[in-house]
Structure 1
Amino acid sequence: MHPISRRRLLGAAAGAGALTLSGAGRIAAAAAAGAPAPAGSATAHRWVGSGTFDPVHDPSLPGRRRYLNDHTLIKAGGRWHLFGIVGDSAAPGESPDSAAEDSFHHASAPGPRGPWTVHPDALTVDPAYFGEEHLWAPHVIEADGRYWMFYAAGGRDGAAINCATSTDLTTWTRLPSGPLFRGLVARDPMVLRAGGEWLMYCTELSGPGGRHVVSCRRSADLVHWSEPGTVYADESTDATVSVTESPFVVERDGWYYLFVGPRNGYDGTDVFASRDPFRFTVDQYAGHVPGHAVEVVADGQHWYASAAGWFHRGLYLAPLRWEDAPPPWQSADNPVAALDVAGRLTVFALDAGDRSLLRRVQLDPASDTWSPWERFGGPAGAVPTLGRNTDSRLEVFSLAPGGAHLHHRAQRPDGGWHDWEVFGGPAGAAPAVGVGAGGRLEAFALAPGGTGIARRRQSAPGSTAWEGWDGAFGGPAGAPPVVGANADGRLEVFALAPGRSAIHHRWQEAPDGPWSAWSRFGTAAGGAPRVTRDGSGRLTAVAIGPSGLGTFHRRQTVPSGGWDDWHQLFGWTAASPALVSGGDGRLETFALSPGGERLRHRWQLTPGGAFDPGGDFGEPGARLAAAPSAAVDATGRIHVLAVTTSGRVRVRVQDRPGGGWRPWASFGDRAIAPLPSGSPAY
């Protein structure tokens, strides 16, 4: 096998009523159940998520910025030890040369949060040792009175999993017998003791040109390993990017939890739960952690998720959460904004402290003066979504904490607001809202855990009354749905399949008419798309590819017609870019690089036309927590709103419709919740 870089591996093979959701009209069929539960085990798995990731260790040197990637943590002798891939960082938004990853960083600390003391590198690549070419993904365990480090080492004779041992976690000696085994692209080993034997999980291919899988081998002595068996397979049969990286398995209360990624962009890890450590399926989804190469550690009663990656400065740590119910999902925009009945741009967000709903109003578009942030309701479980009636009155849709139910609040014609009302529930996210051809608002809500999508619409345009929920509209889905309106008024709904194996869509066959069946709209994707209509009347969809390796767009050939092919729009992207139609009808799009340090900007040369090559969008002044949101005020100028990791909102505004841009500026002094789009809304 020829040498291959990790970058190529990531892109290898190239009335109020209750909201009820049934399994009818499924986007993808559910798979079979797992093995019987061990005696005394919990009858239902827990749902997994995390708190905020905080930086705890930076391996950079004076004048030399460095990153950590796949890593391992182990506690020994009262101290925690960290081993991991280390390398020189690339420019923001660019990936480093993974073929140059040739040593393992080593540091130790009294606790997972540090302070960390750096030691000499634990291991350096040795080409004389059976053709080692790189050092990737160490995993360290203690057994038989010594420490064992398993790692991926490459090689001309096939990807190799090697092993070194130590008695002090400082001096390491490779096994003289050579690689434990070789595989097609075997890497990212993780070893677990279960059922009286050792299990090693690795990322692999099912065969030449096959699917990306998590494989498992068994051993009695940590040296001799069985042939591999597939324990999890990527659902996409035509995926060109690996999303079975960094597998990690933990056992809790008779359930095994598989952490694997990258999912929902580069910085994302999905969790699947099974009673059988040799079988995980996409229908066993059990949560999401917004980090790359996630490892799980426990210190007494506390569980942590650690993360690291190319686009970050070292090691990050977050509390790992085990919940009884599925966490709700954050929708695409944070904050969210639209014009109200008086033509004033109105912005909604969640307070960083108590998660109360906040509102800020543009008092004068000409001078761009704003009201202070004011409490609007809450607390809420996610940033709300907005609908705008045909008479321009706004309607706000909010999710209760924990997804217990939905609320909505409608604006009055005089600009005031009606009281909050229960809108349905429970739900997995705030609903997507569109306006049909007849002027009625329609809401599309995700069920808890993504088990289905339900639809509900106003009884009449602008009415405060709504019809009941259609719980069989679709599902399951891997993210909240997205809705767009065709030029002829027909609504079109887009949904991500479970496991992110594809994007599907469904549309009205006539204005306010019946709906088509679900149809495949795109292959494997990293997240739900964003969809907007430009000044030519055509819809455009943008979506990130698996792992966030690239961003792609697809547009209608004619207004309300079919669709062109997918075309690349950006390179590495953290989440689906913001997409907005400016006052001159041209689409403008804003993409955040993984790591949150760089925004790129592209725009159509004419409404419905090709995109300019674009470029950097200026320095927002701090690292961003999520992709920006964008809205147009009454003058036709675009406002780009971005939330920093500290919860501060930054804004950049056009000088004039279709024109240049003012510098970045602060947007109020209130800290809002820095929620990554598409992630569980903890």
Structure 2
Amino acid sequence: MGCQVRLFSAGGRSDHPSGNRGSSKPGGFGANPGFSQVYDQPTMPIKRVDQRKDQKLLLLAGLGGLVLIAAPVVVFSQALGEQRPPWINSGDPAGIQLPFETGTYAARPTQVSPLPATSARLDKLGRLVVVAKGQNHEVLSSTQSAPSSGSATTGWVNLGGSAAGDPVIATNADGELVAFVIGTNGALLENYQVTPSTGGVANWRELGGANLVGTPAVAQDAAGKLVVVARAADGSLWTAQQTQPGDSTWTEWRSLPVLAAHDPALFRDSKGKLRIFAAGPDGQLRTIAQAGLAVDEWNAPRGLGGATAGPPAVAMDDQGSLRVFSLTVDGSLLDNVELSAASDTWRGWQSRGGQLMGRPLVVADPKGCVVVHVLTVNGTVQEIFQLPDRKAWSEWHDHAGSIAKLVSSAQDSQGRLVVYGISKRGGMEQTYQAIPASGPWVGWESDLGGVFPTK
């Protein structure tokens, strides 16, 4: 089945407050049957009235009155409509908007992103932004000069901070990018100022947490609230979330009933529920789903089996089904897929082979094909992707390179896939498609520069 991009635009809804309608008695003079008056003065001759002209005048007067009555209502409704968010629709399989059946809308305009946080993301102007941990534990960001500028960027900006793990960026409810990272003190840090010209430690604030390690997983729920899942040094998994979409206040951290040997993954399914994926010390992958839409309650974990030896990566295919990927001990790629969209029933693991390492990077191209990039033990990058029939996968494709660590993969504003990696020399490099959803790929470019740890 061929794939197509599914775009849904939210229509507008305007609810007008209804005031109390008071009753009024008709005004004017009424006739008194007990009173009569006789006029003795001579009367003037009566001029014939053109009834057709009179009807036209009455019609024009009536229309004018309607305009005078309606104009304030229209102006008021437009003013009110600017304050109301668009009516929310759940037609998008990626769960871009709130579910229609809830019949609710947010208190203010909300941008709800279907994609979880990664180290590279489009800002609201359509420019790719990439973040990474620097050699001195600071967080560095680089932004495209313009949406179509390719490898041309504004240069690296020092966002400060004290990063222990790798940072990620998510879209907040107001459309701005927010950075998250586990600090050297074991707490979660966030920064609302991920812009090309911003720097300074003062922009970071602590969200709590204790003995956290690795890279946090972040995504918006169906209402637009950011939700964070992170693991502690003892393998326990913890979660916290914004109290309201775009709010600066967060809930207390709560423990989840599952252990994680690696960084977790977080993705919203096609019905709007967040799903956590975590590989345990026993190599078994487990998933935990939200108990309801946009709630701070979670179901019991479900085992997906497998024999994984690394962190999972998750994407959604063009049928609305989640696909999860992970590596085995011998470095081969495993994948599993839901039997139907948001069903939480799974086909079972299949091996795609390879001699790979690290965490797979998974992204969907503009045609809805799921594409996987993984680092080999030799430092080259391999790619595998769904074939047009969606029933089979391509052979492995070699993108060469001398990469020590893969950072992120993303789709730019032109629909081209871009892969970022830290070279063995410590600089940030990128490779990208010359044509959206197709080849060839441009060779690795080192224009991004910078100096980063290679492990």
Scaled by the length of structure 2, what TM-score is found? Answer: 0.68
- The match for 1:603 among 382, 385, 406 is 385
- The match for 2:142 among 340, 354, 360 is 360
Instruction: Tell me the CA shift for residue 419 of structure 1.
Output: 2.0
CA distance in 2, matches of 1:386, 1:610: 33
Aligned to 1:636: 415
Pair 1:371–1:473, CA change in 2 (3 A): same
CA distance in 2, matches of 1:438, 1:473: 21
CA distance in 1, matches of 2:143, 2:196: 15
- Give yes or no for the alignment of 1:447 onto 2:232: yes
Q: What letter is aligned with 1:625?
A: A
Q: CA contact under 8 A between 2:133 and 2:139: conserved in structure 1?
A: yes
Aligned to 1:668: 448
Q: CA contact under 8 A between 1:431 and 1:480: conserved in structure 2?
A: yes
Instruction: Tell me the CA shift for residue 485 of structure 1.
Output: 1.0
Q: What letter is aligned with 2:423?
A: T
Aligned to 1:309: none
- Give yes or no for the alignment of 1:428 onto 2:213: yes
- Give yes or no for the alignment of 1:370 onto 2:153: yes
Q: CA contact under 8 A between 1:387 and 1:395: conserved in structure 2?
A: yes
Pair 1:396–1:525, CA change in 2 (3 A): same
Q: CA contact under 8 A between 1:334 and 1:642: conserved in structure 2?
A: no
Aligned to 1:653: 432
- The match for 1:394 among 165, 177, 187 is 177
Q: CA contact under 8 A between 2:117 and 2:171: conserved in structure 1?
A: no
CA distance in 2, matches of 1:491, 1:518: 13
> Which structure has greater strand proportion?
1
- Give yes or no for the alignment of 1:351 onto 2:134: yes
Q: Deviations over 1:157-208 (max 9, x none)?
A: xxxxxxxxxxxxxxxxxxxxxxxxxxxxxxxxxxxxxxxxxxxxxxxxxxxx
Structure 2 residue matching 1:672: 3-state secondary structure: coil
Aligned to 1:617: 398
Q: Which moved more, 1:407-416 or 1:520-529?
A: 407-416
CA distance in 2, matches of 1:419, 1:409: 6
Instruction: Tell me the CA shift for residue 440 of structure 1.
Output: 1.0
After the TM superposition, which residues 496-535 of structure 1 pair with which residues of structure 2 at under 5 Å, given as runs? 496-498=279-281, 500-513=282-295, 514-535=297-318
Structure 1 residue matching 2:330: 3-state secondary structure: helix
Q: CA contact under 8 A between 2:420 and 2:429: conserved in structure 1?
A: yes
CA distance in 1, matches of 2:183, 2:194: 23
Q: Deviations over 1:523-543 (max 9, x none)?
A: 221112101112332211011
Q: CA contact under 8 A between 2:290 and 2:299: conserved in structure 1?
A: yes
- Give yes or no for the alignment of 1:567 onto 2:350: yes
Instruction: Tell me the CA shift for residue 384 of structure 1.
Output: 0.8
| RCO higher in structure (CA 8 A, sep ≥6) | 1
CA distance in 1, matches of 2:194, 2:404: 34
CA distance in 2, matches of 1:411, 1:537: 33
Aligned to 2:79: none
Instruction: Tell me the CA shift for residue 406 of structure 1.
Output: 1.8
Q: CA contact under 8 A between 1:637 and 1:653: conserved in structure 2?
A: yes
Q: What letter is aligned with 1:464?
A: S
Structure 1 residue matching 2:452: 3-state secondary structure: coil
CA distance in 2, matches of 1:656, 1:391: 31
Identity across the alignment (%): 25
Q: Deviations over 1:537-581 (max 9, x none)?
A: 221101111232x21111112211122121122322112321111
Q: CA contact under 8 A between 1:355 and 1:673: conserved in structure 2?
A: no
Q: What letter is aligned with 2:397?
A: D
After the TM superposition, which residues 191-340 of structure 1 pair with which residues of structure 2 at under 5 Å, given as runs? 336-340=119-123
> Which structure has greater helix proportion?
2
CA RMSD of aligned residues (A): 2.5
Structure 2 residue matching 1:631: 3-state secondary structure: strand
Instruction: Tell me the CA shift for residue 415 of structure 1.
Output: 9.4
Pair 1:613–1:654, CA change in 2 (3 A): same
Q: CA contact under 8 A between 1:574 and 1:594: conserved in structure 2?
A: yes
Instruction: Tell me the CA shift for residue 412 of structure 1.
Output: 8.5
Instruction: Tell me the CA shift for residue 600 of structure 1.
Output: 1.7
CA distance in 2, matches of 1:591, 1:490: 28
Pair 1:351–1:627, CA change in 2 (3 A): closer
Q: CA contact under 8 A between 2:366 and 2:436: conserved in structure 1?
A: yes
Q: CA contact under 8 A between 1:454 and 1:474: conserved in structure 2?
A: no
CA distance in 2, matches of 1:526, 1:377: 33
CA distance in 2, matches of 1:524, 1:385: 27
- The match for 1:457 among 233, 241, 244 is 241
List alignment gaps of at least 5 residues for structure 2. 1-115
CA distance in 2, matches of 1:648, 1:664: 12
Q: What letter is aligned with 1:635?
A: Q
Q: Deviations over 1:495-516 (max 9, x none)?
A: 1112x43111111243224421
Q: CA contact under 8 A between 1:584 and 1:657: conserved in structure 2?
A: no
Aligned to 2:361: 578
- The match for 2:337 among 555, 560, 584 is 555
Q: What letter is aligned with 1:436?
A: D
CA distance in 1, matches of 2:395, 2:382: 7
Instruction: Tell me the CA shift for residue 411 of structure 1.
Output: 4.3
Instruction: Tell me the CA shift for residue 348 of structure 1.
Output: 0.5
The total of aligned residue pairs comes to: 333
Structure 1 residue matching 2:267: 3-state secondary structure: strand
Q: What letter is aligned with 2:445?
A: A
CA distance in 2, matches of 1:384, 1:412: 12
- Give yes or no for the alignment of 1:482 onto 2:262: no
Instruction: Tell me the CA shift for residue 423 of structure 1.
Output: 1.0
List alignment gaps of at least 5 residues for structure 1. 1-332, 676-682
Q: What letter is aligned with 1:674?
A: T
Q: CA contact under 8 A between 1:341 and 1:391: conserved in structure 2?
A: no
Q: CA contact under 8 A between 2:365 and 2:371: conserved in structure 1?
A: yes
Structure 1 residue matching 2:162: 3-state secondary structure: coil
Instruction: Tell me the CA shift for residue 491 of structure 1.
Output: 0.6
After the TM superposition, which residues 107-122 of structure 1 pair with which residues of structure 2 at under 5 Å, given as runs? none
- The match for 1:468 among 252, 270, 273 is 252
